[in-house]
Amino acid sequence: MRRLRPLARKLRRWTGRNRPAILLYHRVARIAHDPWALAVPPDLFAEQMEVLSRTRRVVPLTRLAEELERGRARANWIAITFDDGYADLLHEAVPAMQRFDCPATMFVTTGALGGAGFWWDRLSEAVFRPERLAAALALGAGRDRFTWEPAAGADRQQLHMALWRRLRRLRPGDREEELAAIERWAGIAPDRERDRAMTAEEVRGLARSGFFSIGAHSISHAPLPELNRFEKAAEIAGSRRACEEMLGQPVLGFAYPFGDLDPESCEEVRRAGFRFACSTMPEPVRADSPRYALPRLSVGAWSGDELLQRLP
């Protein structure tokens, strides 16, 4: 296969498949229950970095954004981004990135730094425990009551999706209460070390390393279109302030939690002083891509060659 790669590269040039793109990762880890496909296993991630370094020009996102401001989208350029701020990157991603000289931007959820992790990991960990198939689950009260009865062929995916939608719109305090109830139902305690977010000190260390730049990803990872304008501004400008205080340097980029955005959110991102923002619209970057909704391609647990096939 290796001998064929230069040929594949030429072929891509002839067919014009070398369009610039921003890649989106979340975590680099081996996770048993990963319903949103957030994790790329470390060995595949290393393959992906090797292939990217050999076939593309991997540039910092700020560099790509600067070129866009000049109206240019450079062929062959790739920018790598990570959302949320998972600590697993430190041991599982950074060594491969350094080895293959691949810089990246990490968008951190500032309210999660130093915390036990993210609610969606705790939820999937609880729901996909097969030994709990026998127990019924009840949450909330009155019109807001949620019940689930185990039955033959009960669909865990469906239960997971229903609970995910429910928890996503709850305020942090209510969500914590319901998560705790779900974990009691599942008979588990969250794996706080495995799923944790980075500490502020770890983020500062990455920023100091020089090949990671830091962007903001809101304070609480709330879906912004569901908030009023004041709440949006607080999440957006507040996360910029928190990042800048933590790092002592300007923070230029924002990424929308869940990729959810509306015109008001984009406007608040601009008003907060960010220079650009990333969505999850799965497209290559074009010279006229909206600066406050840059498209990104989500990368899955693919081999290096598969990633190459999927790149635009």
Total of residues contacting Zn ion (CB under 5 A): 2
CB-neighbour burial class of residue 164 (10 A; exposed 0-12, middle 13-18, buried 19+)? middle
CA 53 – CA 116 distance, rounded (Å):
34
Interacting positions 83-102 with Zn ion (CB under 5 A): 83-84
CA 31 – CA 86 distance, rounded (Å):
13
When the beta carbons of 36 and 146 are compared against Zn ion, the nearer one is 36
When the beta carbons of 260 and 264 are compared against Zn ion, the nearer one is 260
Closest contact distance (angstroms) between CB of 295 and Zn ion is 16
Q: Which residue is nearest to Zn ion (CB)?
A: 83
Dihedral sign (CA 24, 89, 68, 11): negative
- By CB under 5 A, tell whether 195 contacts Zn ion: no
Closest contact distance (angstroms) between CB of 129 and Zn ion is 24
CA 244 – CA 76 distance, rounded (Å):
31
Closest contact distance (angstroms) between CB of 219 and Zn ion is 12
Closest contact distance (angstroms) between CB of 163 and Zn ion is 18
CA 292 – CA 254 distance, rounded (Å):
8
Closest contact distance (angstroms) between CB of 230 and Zn ion is 22
User: Residues 67-86: x/- map of binding to Zn ion (CB under 5 A)?
Assistant: ----------------xx--
CA 195 – CA 222 distance, rounded (Å):
19
Select from 219, 211, 114, 223 the least CA-distant residue to 166. Answer: 223
When the beta carbons of 160 and 221 are compared against Zn ion, the nearer one is 221
- Contact residues for Zn ion, defined by CB under 5 A: 83-84
